[in-house]
Amino acid sequence: MPVRIITRRHFIAAGTAAAATPFLARGASAQAAWPSRNIRMVCSYPAGGQTDLLARAFGDFISRQVGQTVFIENKAGASGSIGAAEVARAAPDGHTILCSISTTYVMNRIMMKNPGYDMDRDLTLVSIIPGAGLLLVASLASGVKTLDDFVAFARKKGQVNFGTYSAGSAPHMTINELNKQYGLKIEPIHYRGEAPMWTGLLDGTLDVAMGSYTAAQAVLQGDKGVVFAVHSKKVSAIPNVKTLPEQGATSKFFTISGFTGWAVPKATPQPIVDRLSELCVAANNDPKVKEVLSTFVLDPALGFKESNALYQRELPTWIESAQALGLEPA
C-alpha cells in the first residue's frame, strides 16, 4: 500500500521545500533523472514491527521530498533473505530500495548456505540506524541486579535458562561469550521472536532473557524482571544501567550493536545513492521519524560514508562471534 498519495499541491510544496533546502541542492544531475516514477521500498520483515515502522516513516518523508509515492512492500521470511534477494535482482536505478536489519546484511552469510544474494557483491548500503543497546533482564526470583550477581547466580545454579529470540541472534552470541569468559553453563533457549521469549520469562521458564527495550516493557512495567546490564551501549531511558563492558565483560562482541538500514542494487549510480543517503539523514528532523526513533530508543540515521565505515568496522567481529557458535548453515 502507498505510504502517501502525492497531490499536485503536495508536489508543489515539496518542490518549494527542495529549492530552499541546501542538502537537496547537491547532485543536480541525479535529481533530474531520479526519481522518474514511484519508488518501491521492500521491507524484509513483517508489517507492524520495528523495521516496518521505520520503513514507513522514512518512506513517507522521502515521498514528500521527491514528489513520488513510496510504496512499502513487506517481503518477510528466511531472516530477511527473501526481500534482500528480490532487491538484489532489481534494476539498479534507485526505484527499488531494501529496508532490513543487520541479520540480513551480516548474519545470513554465516547462517545460510544460500541466502540468494551476496551482500558485498549485490547490494550497496545507503544509510543505517545504529541499534539500541539490548537489555539483559533477570527474573525477580534470581535476585540478580548486576553482572557480578548474575555470574554468581549462574555458578551456584549450574545451568541457567537464557532466552533468545532466535538461534544465531545477538543474545545467542552473548551467551556464548559469557560462557567463555566466566566458565558458565548458560543454556540458550531459542524462541521465534521476542514476544514469546518475554512470555517465557514471565511464566518462569527462563531465568534471563535479552532483547529490545520496547519489547521488554511488559516485563519491566509489571515488575516481573530486573535489567542488570545492556549489551553494548547505554539506553537513554535507563541511563543508570551499565553496559556489559562497564561491568567487566571483555568480548569484542560487546562493543558492537546491530542496525537497521537501507540498501540498493550494487550498480546503482553513486549520485542516486548519495541523494538517498542525504534524504535519510534529513529525515532525522521530521516529526514522524523522530517519534518512531524515540519509540524504539534509536539513534538518528547515518550518512553513506559513516554507515559504510561502521559496517566495515564491525563486520569482522560479527562474523567471528557468529562462527564461534559452531552452527551449521541451514
Domain 135-255 has CATH 3.40.50.2030: no
Whether residue 55 has pLDDT greater than 60? yes
- Measured distance CA(36)–CA(202) in Å, rounded: 51
Query: Which H or E element spans position 186?
Result: strand 186-190
pTM for this model (two decimals): 0.83
Whether residue 91 has pLDDT greater than 60? yes
One of 3.10.129.10, 2.102.10.10, 3.30.930.10, 3.40.190.150 is the CATH number of 39-131+258-324, namely 3.40.190.150
Give the start-to-end residue ranges of the domains of the chain: 39-131+258-324, 135-255
100 neighbors 80 (Cβ within 8 angstroms): yes
CATH topology identical between 39-131+258-324 and 135-255 = yes
pLDDT of residue 218: 87
For 104-162, the pLDDT digits (tens) are: 999 899 889 999 999 999 999 999 999 989 999 999 999 999 999 999 999 999 989 99
Residues near 228 by beta carbon (within 8 Å), at least 6 away in sequence = 136, 137, 138, 144, 145, 146, 147, 149, 150, 241
